[in-house]
Chain A
Amino acid sequence: MNTNRAKSLSPLTLALSPIGERARVRGDPAAWRAPRPALVAGVDVGSVSAEAVLLQAGHVVAQSTLPTGANSRAAGEEVLRRALEQAGARLAEVAMVVATGYGRMAVDAAQKKVTEITCHARGAGHHFPDAATVIDIGGQDSKVIRLDARGAVSDFVMNDRCAAGTGRFLEVMSRALDVPLDRLGELSLRARRAAPVSSMCTVFAESEVVSLVAEGVPVVEIIAGLHAAVAERIWGMAQRLGLAPRVVMSGGVAYNEGVVRALEQRLGAALAVAPQPHMVGALGAALIAADLVGQGK
């Protein structure tokens, strides 16, 4: 859009459109010769939380997160609204919104819907350009993603239908043990050994945990056992694809240092934990949005 064309727009259009707003606010025709870099958004509506990231010129200008709750459509709208508020921007100013996560279809503002596999790969690759494997453990599912030399997804596996090896599994166990979820990691690191938790079915494992508590097994050892069980599950998935360094971990469970340690031990490889691991999916979606805008799509 050039200056002359912007000037030729009607006052109503200028008042309503983002182009108009920029022309009106800045009032300086020179602003159109050096247009502000496009603002793009990524929205990740997961089973536990929703995240939004706003990017401009490759930099995060705002981000927000909130619990998804029972209404993924409302969560997607609200998390994006909060990020926009933080950036002082309006939705109409966003050149492209890409939604991801299990609730991606409910994000009405999104022009594109991309799976969380592709978005986590893109986000993790942004933080660690040499990433070859991404382990993402979210609230509802866990996945191992292999990347090719260009950072594109070459293969992936996801957990099966049950909650074993996911954040939900740890959430259920934290309730059974009456330990806050965010303290599981710290407590497990105090354990001298991991109590054996044989079952990976969430329901059976919960009753096993209750039995271990009744037997007087220290809680820290039970937690360490649960983390080892999660690591075992992820290791099994990784074996199907083959593990290649560098291995990056994303998803909210990456905040749990106990799981990270257990995974490193089981995989025999160091894990690079992405900064703000719960935001990686939304970041990846925003980066894809930026790519698409850059390609003129």
Chain B
Amino acid sequence: MLFDLIRWALANDRFRRGFVAPALRFEILQLALTPFRATRAERLLAEAGLRLSLRAFEGREAVIYTSLFTPPELLHALGVVPFGLEAAGAGVAALGLAPQALAAAERAWAPVDACSILRAGLGVAYLGLLPRPQAVVATSSLCDSTPKVMAAAARLYGAPFFLLDVPYEATPPALAYLAGQLEDLTGSLAAIAGRAPDPARLTEAVRLSNEARGHLDRLTAQRVACPGVLPPGDGQGFLYPINLLLGSPAGATVFRAFAEEAAGRAQRPLPHVRGPRVLLLHVLPYFRHHILDTLQAAGACVVFEEMSQVYWPEMDPSQPYLGLARRCIAHFDNGPLERRTEAVLELARRFAVDGALHFSPHGCRQSWGALQVLRDALAAAGMPLLELEGDCVDARGCPEGQQRTRLMAFVEALGQRTGEGNRATDERR
């Protein structure tokens, strides 16, 4: 009923423009009034996301659209609001509004076989539901579609578009090249926002980013010792704070809260992790899905998520551009596929996993391209990989029955290998 009302309001020109900011305020209020619905860390993360979105929709500050891997520290230091177009696509999916957003993108000639999270983000922009950006920034890392979709969004709003050309290797010239781009970008965005770059604020943003990184690192170490300190698959949600909150006080607060909660849980007797241990690779659908529940019901335990790993070194606050450049280049999805493969194998070893699950969203060519290499590398290390395909924003493109059978069969096979197959076969609850 509520969703029907939201859909009606969003489909109505008179209502939709003024709809989002009040809805976000209502959500923040509801979050404060219902503390029992989530842990403190989860509420802090949700609130940070809602407040950042609210700032964007209120329109009092300059809004900069960013793609994944654009360093948010630069934007927090400038006092402008980073707004992730992919995050908007994910949000639309979580609200169950992806079909409308995808249809809007299709009407605007977005190719239907392109990444659906980008299409959903672009579609919701075409629907006129997003805040107007003063500039759009994308990186060349990982995905060819992202810069093109971000450029399309820039054209839609008549905003300047900036592309960060991220080199593959962290050689001194490559680092200097990217650091120079980041410095130039800061100058350009400062001019657009009508502010002067403030080196002290950038230093502080890098310090906060390092603090957040430290907490995430601590949390990861706790998860190695005891995977149960974080609910299975929750680390998948760190994609948002890593890409939009690093460099802000909220980013440090959120990761501190998660690490503290994990430390608290580690003090209590936790249920022993039983069943085959699974590593999640890439992403999961952004709408309410069954995958984690199915794995758990089958008796498997998700012990870590590729996207929540700390892949970057601590940065030197006195050389912020160089540190941020190093982080951009160090991303496991940037550069040759061997980098990601090694990172996955290292995680598999560190978390002693029995197998890996790779959800491959339709249209995500970079993840499909990596599959066979990852599969072979894991097989050589004695770990099978299940590839599960589907749409990551539109539930209509995720056939649940077929996915359940694949997941159950995967856990059954892992159970036979590890001698823990009995729970895997028992679906009766």
Contacts and interface: CB of A to CB of B under 8 A. Distances in A.
Interface of A: 98, 102, 105, 110-118, 141, 150, 152-156, 158, 160-161, 288, 292, 297
Contact of B402 (A112, A113, A158): A158
Contacts of A156: 409, 413
B406 A113 contact: no
Contacts of B349: none
A138 to B, nearest CB: 12
Given A118-B413, A156-B409, A112 B399 contact: no
Interface in B392-429: 399, 401-402, 405-406, 408-409, 412-413, 416-417, 422, 425-428
B402 A161 contact: yes
B384 interface: yes
A113 B427 contact: yes
A112 B416 CA distance: 16
A111 B405 contact: no
A297 B428 CA distance: 14
Given A112-B428, A118-B412, 9 more contacts: A102-B405, A105-B427, A112-B427, A114-B412, A115-B408, A115-B412, A150-B416, A153-B409, A154-B413
B32 to A, nearest CB: 41
Contacts, number: 57
Nearest to A105: B427
Interface of B: 379, 384, 389, 399, 401-402, 405-406, 408-409, 412-413, 416-417, 422, 425-428
A105 B401 CA distance: 11
Contacts of A292: 422
B425 A118 contact: yes
A105 B294 CA distance: 13
A187 B179 CA distance: 70
Nearest to A117: B409
Nearest to B390: A161
B395 to A, nearest CB: 14
Nearest to A152: B416
A155 B386 CA distance: 8
Nearest to A297: B422
Question: What does DSSP make chain A's interface, helix, strand, loop or mixed?
Answer: mixed
The 10 A-B pairs with the shortest beta carbon distances in the complex, nearest first, are: A117-B409, A152-B416, A153-B413, A115-B409, A113-B427, A118-B412, A115-B408, A114-B425, A112-B425, A115-B405
Contacts of B427: 105, 112-113
Question: What does DSSP make chain B's interface, helix, strand, loop or mixed?
Answer: helix
Nearest to A98: B425
Contact of B413 (A110, A152, A297): A152
Contacts of A118: 409, 412-413, 416, 425
A111 B374 CA distance: 37
Given A116-B405, A117-B409, A153 B426 contact: no
B405 A117 contact: yes
Nearest to B372: A240
Contacts of B379: 155
Contacts of A297: 422
A252 to B, nearest CB: 18
A98 B425 CA distance: 9
A102 B401 contact: yes
Nearest to A158: B406
A156 B428 CA distance: 24
17 contacts: A102-B405, A112-B425, A112-B427, A115-B408, A115-B412, A117-B405, A117-B412, A117-B413, A152-B413, A152-B417, A153-B409, A154-B413, A155-B413, A156-B409, A156-B413, A161-B402, A288-B425
Nearest to A242: B379
A164 B422 CA distance: 33
Contacts of B389: 160
Contacts of B408: 115
B428 to A, nearest CB: 7
B167 to A, nearest CB: 33
A126 to B, nearest CB: 15
Given A105-B427, A118-B413, A155 B406 contact: no
Nearest to A112: B425
A105 B416 CA distance: 21
A276 B427 CA distance: 28
Contacts of B417: 152, 154
B405 A112 contact: no
A98 B401 CA distance: 19
Given A113-B425, A115-B409, A153 B416 contact: yes
B65 to A, nearest CB: 34
A112 B409 contact: no
Nearest to A116: B405
